[in-house]
Every structure is written in structure tokens, then in C-alpha cells.
């Protein structure tokens, strides 16, 4: 048996490595999914596996932390319960000690907060002349003396006397009021009589005044009527004089000299001017006729000018139409020449294709197409 030399082994190893790399490259190149996506699926699978391992590790770490937190919570609950029991025991011991050795009666200041101090104390005073009833002590007030019954009886008698006195005063006041009412009634009747007398006097005076006013109005009306008659007569005389002046004056006689102005012969006074003379009117009509003839001449010249422009516009439109028709004929001729040229070129292409089909008789088979894409290079 022939042994392999180290050199042959190295060459075989390099050849096998190249073949393996070529196969791996062909898998990557000829795999349509990897070629279209354009990514390394193996690297992606490794990343997904690493991510899952990382998530599992993180989940295990969180579960460990949660278990540790639950354990710590249990220990905290046990310690809190023990602390509550210790506080309760301490409070109970303090209360027992206070009940046994710190009673309120044993305190030095108990007399200041003793609830039975008032029952144990002496009364505020034993009589009205007690030496403890000082002014600043405020133990004796009006109505709180020991002879209360006698003082009350005396006050009732005094109130009865006051009531009788008020009754007498009230009766006297009623009598005075009746007297005042009678006096007021008498005075009122006297005032009514006086008012009635004054009213009668006022009526008589008013009647006399009305009669005097009526007479005065009659005299005023008579004077007013006479004054109106006199004014009407004077107005008629003035109207007659005015009419006479107008009839004989220069206004109605239409004297042209009265409208002459002092500023020149071409100026007139508007409020006196009666219109133009016949010579002036004839001169104005002559000027108007000249203006009308001049306007007709200008209109005829404008009409001739418009006709010239219309004729030129028609000629230019006709020339443009002829030019457009000529351009269309040229384009039609060019299109026909181009169509003929295209037909000749198509005929030549068909002949050339037929000649190539006669010359090239070797058609490709399936083996010709399968020799492609067999290597990755």
C-alpha cells in the first residue's frame, strides 16, 4: 500500500477546503431567498439564539430577584409584627406602672385639677358681713343678699305704687287729649268758615276780572281789524304802484342797454340780461353749421381709414391662409417620402432576416442553457 506524503495531504486538505468553500458559496449564491433578501441568515439565526439566551438569562435573574424580594417581604412582615407586639407590651407595662405608682392623688399639683375641689372647699360667704366679701373678691352683688324675701316684698309694693301712679298719669293725659281735640274741632270749624268766605270773595273777584278781560279783548279785536283793513289798503296801493313801475320800466320793455356791464362790451349783468339779439343768434347758427360740416368731414376721413385697415387685414389673412396651405402640402409630401423610405427599409429587413434564417441553421438545445450558473464565479 502506497503511503500519502505530507505534501499530498496538504494539497488534498487545501483542495477539500476550497471545494467546501465553493459549495458554501454556491448555496449562498444560488439560494433565491438569500439573494433577494440580501442578508446573512446564519448570522441572523445566531443573533436570534443569542437574544433568546439573553432573554432567558434576564428572566432567570428577574425571577431570582423576585424570590429574594418575597423572602425579604416575609422577613419584614415578621419583624413588623414583632415590633408591634413589643410596643403593645411596653404600653401595657407603662399603664400598669402608672396605675400602681403614679396615681393622680399622689401628685403634688393634684389640688389644682381635683374634680371634687368645689365640694371640699368652704362656701364663698356665710353672711353679708363676712370678712372674705371684699370688693375685689366679687362675692356680693346687687340682689344676692341674704334678706332676699324682704327685699322682694318691698320691691313688689314699690311696683304697685308705680303702677297706680302711671294709671293716674294716663287718665290725666286722656283728659288733656280730649280737651285738645275739642279745641282742634272748634278751630277747624272756624277755619272752614273763613275759607268759605274767602272762596266767595275769590269767585266774585274772578267774575269781575273775566268781565274786564272780555271788554279788553273786544277792544283789541276791533283795533286789530281796523289795523288789518288799513294794512290791506296800503298793500293794494303799493302793488298798483309796483305794477305801474314795472310796466313803464326797462325790465319789461327789454331794453338791451340795461344789461350792459361796466367791465366791458363783452360782459353783461345776468339779472338784467333778456337774451341775445337776432344777429347774435344768426352768427351762432352759422358757427354751428360750420362745426357740423367739419365733424362730417372728420367722420368720412375716419371711415376711409377704417376701410383701408380692413382691406389690409383681409389681404394679410389671405396671405397667411395661402402660406399655411403651402406648408401643409410640403408636410404631406415629406410624410409620403418618409413612408416610402420606411417601406423600402422594412422590405430590406425582411430580406436580410430571410437570408440569415437560410444561413444560420444551428439552433440551441437544452444542454446549451444548462451550462450556465454552474459555478459561483
Which residue blocks in the chain are alpha helix, DSSP H?
A: 6-30, 32-37, 41-101, 117-120, 148-248, 250-253, 278-359, 366-370
pLDDT tens digits, 49-108: 999 999 999 999 999 999 999 999 999 999 999 999 999 999 999 999 888 888 887 877
Annotate 340-364 with b (16+ C-beta within 10 A) or e (fewer).
eeeeeeeeeeeeeeeeeeeeeeeee
* Among the ranges given (126-135, 183-192, 328-337, 341-350), the one the predictor scored with the smallest mean pLDDT: 126-135
Q: What's the pLDDT score for residue 340?
A: 93
Q: For the chain, which residues make up each domain, given as ranges?
A: 9-98
Report how far residue 307's alpha carbon sits from residue 302's, in angstroms, rounded to the nearest whole number: 9
Sorted by sequence, the CB contacts under 8 Å of residue 258 that are 6+ apart come out as 250, 251, 269, 272
Pairs from 162-168 (Cβ < 8 Å, separation ≥ 24):
none
Return the DSSP state at 291.
Answer: H
Q: Check if the beta carbon of residue 43 is closer than 8 Å to that of residue 28.
A: no
Residues 6+ apart with CB under 8 A from 117: 111
What is the pLDDT at residue 7?
65
Residue 1: pLDDT over 60: no
Q: Is the distance from CB of 88 to CB of 81 less than 8 angstroms?
A: no
Q: pLDDT category, 148, cuts 50, 70, 90?
A: confident
Give the C-alpha separation, 153 to 160, whole Å. 11
Among the ranges 20-24, 108-112, 243-247, which has the highest mean pLDDT value? 20-24
Amino acid at each position: 500500500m502506497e503511503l500519502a506524503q505530507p505534501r499530498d495531504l496538504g494539497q488534498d486538505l487545501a483542495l477539500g477546503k476550497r471545494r467546501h468553500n465553493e459549495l458554501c458559496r454556491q448555496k449562498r449564491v444560488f439560494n433565491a431567498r438569500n439573494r433577494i433578501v440580501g442578508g446573512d441568515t446564519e448570522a441572523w439565526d445566531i443573533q436570534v439564539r443569542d437574544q433568546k439566551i439573553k432573554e432567558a438569562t434576564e428572566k432567570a435573574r428577574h425571577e431570582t430577584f423576585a424570590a429574594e424580594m418575597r423572602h425579604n417581604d416575609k422577613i419584614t412582615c415578621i419583624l413588623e409584627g414583632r415590633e408591634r407586639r413589643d410596643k403593645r407590651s411596653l404600653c401595657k407595662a407603662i399603664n400598669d406602672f402608672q396605675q400602681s405608682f403614679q396615681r393622680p392623688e399622689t401628685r403634688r399639683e393634684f389640688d389644682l385639677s381635683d374634680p371634687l375641689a368645689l365640694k371640699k372647699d368652704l362656701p364663698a360667704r356665710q353672711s353679708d358681713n363676712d370678712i372674705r366679701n371684699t370688693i375685689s373678691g366679687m362675692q356680693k352683688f346687687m340682689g344676692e343678699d341674704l334678706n332676699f324675701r324682704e327685699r322682694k316684698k318691698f320691691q313688689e309694693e314699690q311696683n304697685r305704687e308705680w303702677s297706680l301712679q302711671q294709671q293716674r298719669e294716663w287718665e290725666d293725659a286722656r283728659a288733656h287729649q280730649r280737651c285738645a281735640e275739642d279745641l282742634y274741632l272748634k278751630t277747624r270749624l272756624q277755619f272752614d268758615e273763613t275759607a268759605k268766605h274767602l272762596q266767595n270773595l275769590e269767585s266774585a273777584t274772578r267774575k269781575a276780572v273775566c268781565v274786564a278781560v272780555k271788554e279788553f279783548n273786544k277792544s283789541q279785536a276791533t283795533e286789530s281789524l281796523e289795523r288789518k283793513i288799513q294794512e290791506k289798503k296800503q298793500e293794494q296801493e303799493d302793488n298798483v304802484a309796483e305794477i305801474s313801475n314795472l310796466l313803464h320800466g326797462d325790465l319789461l320793455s327789454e331794453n338791451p342797454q340795461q344789461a350792459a356791464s361796466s367791465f366791458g362790451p363783452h360782459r353783461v349783468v345776468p339779472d338784467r340780461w333778456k337774451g341775445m339779439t337776432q344777429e347774435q343768434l344768426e352768427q351762432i347758427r352759422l358757427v354751428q353749421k360750420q362745426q357740423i360740416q367739419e365733424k362730417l368731414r372728420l367722420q368720412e376721413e375716419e371711415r376711409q381709414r377704417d376701410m383701408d385697415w380692413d382691406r389690409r387685414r383681409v389681404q394679410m389673412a389671405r396671405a397667411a391662409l395661402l402660406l399655411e396651405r403651402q406648408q401643409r402640402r410640403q408636410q404631406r409630401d415629406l410624410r409620403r417620402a418618409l413612408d416610402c423610405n420606411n417601406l423600402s427599409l422594412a422590405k430590406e429587413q425582411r430580406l436580410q432576416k430571410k437570408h440569415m434564417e437560410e444561413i444560420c441553421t444551428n439552433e440551441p438545445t437544452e444542454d446549451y442553457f444548462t451550462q450556465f450558473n454552474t459555478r459561483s464565479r
